[in-house]
Amino acid sequence: MLASGLVPSRVTYLILLDGFCKSSEVGHIEFAKKLFHELEFGKWEGCAQVALIGMYAKCGNLSYAERGIKALDIFHRMLDRGLEPNQTTFSTLLSACSHSGLVEQGRSLFLRMEHEHNIKRTQKHYACYVDLLSRAGHLEEAEELV
């Protein structure tokens, strides 16, 4: 598309992001890294930023800590731009924190989602939070929550 001089739309990028989230082939991951390096400097709207967070959270070949920090960084940039997160944003962020060992950040997100963002917690949010606590060895706290 780019070689032909066509400018990809936001929908094109979202389709690519979704495809990269489902692929674990090394060639796809390397291409995704290059794409994201270029796209991060563009102006992302809310749904594209959520998709980018999802990419970092689901992509198995990037380092866990890097993914979680990157997802949180994008989340804070969304908030700085006045974009409101949704339920998917929080489940993705909680998952990224869980796989990255970012317990305090995940705990803060879990508490803030209802109080600051007025987003009702779902079973998926609780499952992600229990996963976060369990992976970090906070088994008693996880059991209490369940």
List, for residues 24-80, the tens digit of each pLDDT value: 454 555 666 566 655 655 555 555 556 666 665 555 545 555 668 888 988 999 999
pTM: 0.60
Domain residue ranges of the chain, discontinuous segments joined by +: 10-145
Q: Tell me, what's the pLDDT at 35?
A: 63
C-alpha 26/C-alpha 126 separation (Å) is 32
Which residue, chain included where needed, has tokens 């609780």? 126
Residue 10 parent element (H or E): helix 10-22
pLDDT tens digits, 78-124: 999 999 999 999 999 999 888 888 888 999 999 999 999 999 999 99
Backbone angles phi, psi at 142, to 5 degrees: -65, -40
Distance CA 129, CA 110 (A): 7
CATH architecture observed for domain 10-145? Alpha Horseshoe (1.25)
